[in-house]
């Protein structure tokens, strides 16, 4: 019966598969999940995933239990109520303040028109060893456009980049590599290579965690800024990058053997990570990685590499936790991209080439300015052309070019008269 007081976070409308998964999730850990168990709290195989999340109600119930493992908590921090009323619309109304909310409110799932089952499918595919591309998601889910799949993946990548990352400790190998596969492919190489800084924990003979970030150059300032946010002070750094006194001033110990040998000593562990990164950008994404979005691709790669020892179900669970902790984002805010600050790296300033590309006017704007000077176009038409050029540059649509041709004729006719 709808209208029952809810001390827990579970819904009263559940199917058989929902009860099977939710009962193990709540009873095995007394209502709180400290470390999910593969095959019990999280799906272990593809068959278990399809069986546990075969309906929308099962997905919503699991989402509620992941977001509120200890029971319902009002999203209003000033309230903090733990009792809720389940309304006829399926929303939870806080018994203390009366605020209505749901498990998807305030997350990247807020306002979605697609079923949660489709979102879970994307999370499950990202948790795979090789990840997934936007075209593969569009084909698998039967989405109407490539843009929808691209937006979903980038929302999840930003959720990964925005999660908390501990800095590396112990012995760390540091290198700055040139990633030639960005905006390129096996047949076509990129015009300008992209520099990526890599910091890798090395616990002989095992490899630990990795941090990656795009850097504008291999200069000492960019490298020191990356190291200060990716590596904890006191760590021992082995690097082929020319050492500077700035690293020692920040509290890091540079390996003297590597420092004297300079580039003669190879970093074989870093080479392994670089090889996997290049294979991933070419094999999964076929080089279709834009430089402005690179930091978020690096965040996804670092997450999967650092969780390589975890089963796929546990990676799925942690991706879901990151998605619930992230703020909702619109598709417009994803275009263009900004440097991820929580990848264990640094927020670097754009390169000189990127700043020039942003500050220079578009081709249509330059053409309008040239015609205005030659034909002495009235200020009204000139202002309309400027707004038209901005509209074309922002939307990237061709439908405004016809209006631009009309204004060109009007301007020419006025100057001729």
Q: Exposed, middle or buried, 370 (CB in 10 Å: 0-12/13-18/19+)?
A: exposed
What pLDDT sits at residue 382? 61
* Residue carrying the six token digits 């006719």: 413
In a domain, 19, yes or no: yes
Cα–Cα distance measured from residue 171 to residue 202, given in angstroms and rounded to the nearest whole number? 6
* C-beta pairs of 29-32 under 8 Å, 24+ apart in sequence: 29/69, 31/69, 31/70, 31/71, 32/69, 32/70
**Higher-scoring residue by pLDDT: 225, 35:** 225
Kindly tell me the burial class for residue 77, based on how many C-beta atoms sit within 10 Å of its own C-beta (0-12, 13-18, 19 or more): exposed
What DSSP state is assigned to residue 239? E
Residue 380 lies in a domain: yes
Which residue among 54, 72, 103 closes a domain? Answer: 103
Query: At residue 127, does pLDDT exceed 90?
Result: yes
pLDDT level of residue 128 (50, 70, 90 thresholds): very high
Last residue of a domain, one of 64, 79, 103: 103
Q: Identify which of 94, 101, 89 has the alpha carbon closest to the alpha carbon of residue 64.
A: 101
Is the model more confident about 245 or about 407? 245
**pLDDT category of residue 414 using cuts at 50, 70 and 90:** very low
Over the stretch 388-406, which tens digit does the pLDDT of each residue have? 666 665 555 555 444 444 4
pLDDT in tens, 331-373: 888 876 554 543 434 444 454 544 554 455 555 555 545 545 5
Classified as helix, coil or strand, 155 is: helix
Asked, for residue 201, whether it belongs to a domain, the answer is: yes
pLDDT at 335: 79
Same domain, 206 and 263: yes
Is the pTM for the entire model greater than 0.85? no
More confident residue, 302 or 17: 302
Whether 264 and 376 share a structural domain: no
Same-domain pairing of 330 and 251: yes
Per-residue confidence at 48, pLDDT binned at 50, 70, 90? very high
Query: Which residue, chain included where needed, has tokens 């991933």?
Result: 280
User: Is residue 410 scored above 50 in pLDDT?
Assistant: no
Percent of the residues in the chain that have a pLDDT greater than 70, as a whole number: 67
Does 417 score more than 80 pLDDT? no
163 lies in the same domain as 232: yes
Cα–Cα dist 145/139, whole Å: 10
How far apart are the C-alpha atoms of 209 and 89, rounded to whole Å? Answer: 44
Greatest mean pLDDT among 93-107, 255-269, 365-379: 93-107
368 three-class SS = helix
Which of 50, 74, 103 represents a domain boundary (last residue)?
103
Query: Would you state the pLDDT for residue 201?
Result: 94
113 φ, ψ (degrees, to nearest 5): -100, -5
Mean pLDDT of the 209-234 span: 91
400/228 Cα distance (integer angstroms) = 47
Count structural domains, the chain. 3
pLDDT of the residue at 333: 86
**pLDDT-based confidence at residue 184 (cuts at 50, 70, 90):** low
What are the DSSP E strand ranges found in 107-250? 171-179, 194-203, 206-214, 236-239
For the ranges 36-45, 133-142, 299-308, which has the lowest average pLDDT? 36-45
DSSP state of 167: P
Q: Give residue-wise pLDDT tens across range 240-257.
A: 777 667 888 888 988 866
Distance CA 110, CA 53 (A): 19
Phi, psi of 132 (to 5 degrees): -155, 150
Residues 343 and 290 in one domain: yes
Mean pLDDT of 302-320: 94
User: What range defines the domain where residue 20 resides?
Assistant: 1-103
For the stretch 164-198, what's the b/e string if a residue is b when 16 or more beta carbons lie within 10 angstroms of its beta carbon? ebebbbebbbbbbbebbbbbbeeeeebeeebbbbb
Q: How far is CA 208 from CA 11, 247, 304, 388, in A?
A: 40, 22, 12, 52
- Helix 379-395 and helix 401-416, axial crossing angle in degrees, nearest 10: 160
> Residue 216 above 70 pLDDT?
yes
Return the pLDDT at 142.
92
């Amino acid at each position: 019966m709808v209208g029952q007081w809810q001390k827990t976070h579970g819904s009263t409308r559940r199917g058989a598969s929902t009860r099977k998964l939710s009962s193990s999730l709540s009873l095995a850990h007394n209502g709180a999940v400290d470390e999910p168990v593969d095959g019990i709290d999280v799906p272990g195989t593809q068959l278990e995933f399809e069986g546990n999340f075969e309906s929308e109600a099962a997905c919503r119930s699991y989402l509620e239990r992941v977001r509120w493992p200890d029971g319902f908590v009002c999203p209003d921090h000033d309230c903090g109520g733990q009792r809720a009323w389940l309304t006829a619309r399926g929303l939870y109304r806080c018994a203390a303040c009366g605020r209505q909310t749901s498990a998807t409110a305030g997350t990247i799932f807020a306002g979605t028109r697609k079923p949660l089952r489709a979102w879970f499918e994307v999370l499950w595919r990202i948790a795979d060893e090789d990840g997934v591309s936007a075209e593969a998601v569009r084909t698998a889910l039967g989405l109407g456009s490539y843009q929808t799949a691209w937006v979903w993946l980038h929302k999840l990548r930003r959720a990964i980049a925005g999660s908390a990352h501990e800095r590396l400790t112990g012995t760390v190998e540091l290198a700055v590599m040139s990633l030639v596969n960005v905006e390129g492919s096996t047949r076509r190489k990129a015009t300008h290579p992209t520099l990526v800084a890599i910091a890798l924990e090395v616990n002989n003979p095992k490899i630990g965690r990795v941090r990656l970030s795009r850097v504008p150059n291999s200069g000492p300032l960019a490298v020191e800024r990356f190291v200060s946010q990716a590596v904890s002070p006191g760590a021992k750094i082995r690097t082929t990058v020319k050492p500077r006194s700035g690293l020692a001033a920040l509290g890091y110990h540079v390996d003297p053997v590597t420092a004297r040998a300079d580039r003669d000593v190879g970093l074989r562990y870093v080479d392994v990570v670089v090889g996997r990164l290049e294979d991933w950008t070419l094999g999964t994404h076929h080089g279709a990685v834009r430089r402005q979005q690179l930091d978020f691709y690096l965040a996804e790669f670092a997450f999967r590499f650092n969780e390589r020892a975890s089963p796929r179900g546990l990676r799925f669970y942690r991706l879901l936790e990151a998605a619930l902790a992230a703020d909702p984002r619109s598709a417009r805010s994803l275009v263009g991209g900004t440097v991820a600050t929580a990848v264990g790296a640094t927020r670097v300033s754009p390169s000189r080439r990127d700043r020039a590309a942003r500050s220079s006017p578009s081709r249509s704007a330059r053409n309008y300015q040239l015609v205005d000077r030659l034909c002495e176009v009235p200020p009204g038409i000139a202002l309309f052309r400027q707004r038209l050029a901005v509209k074309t540059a922002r939307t990237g649509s061709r439908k405004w070019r016809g209006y631009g041709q009309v204004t060109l004729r009007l301007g020419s006719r006025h100057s001729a008269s």
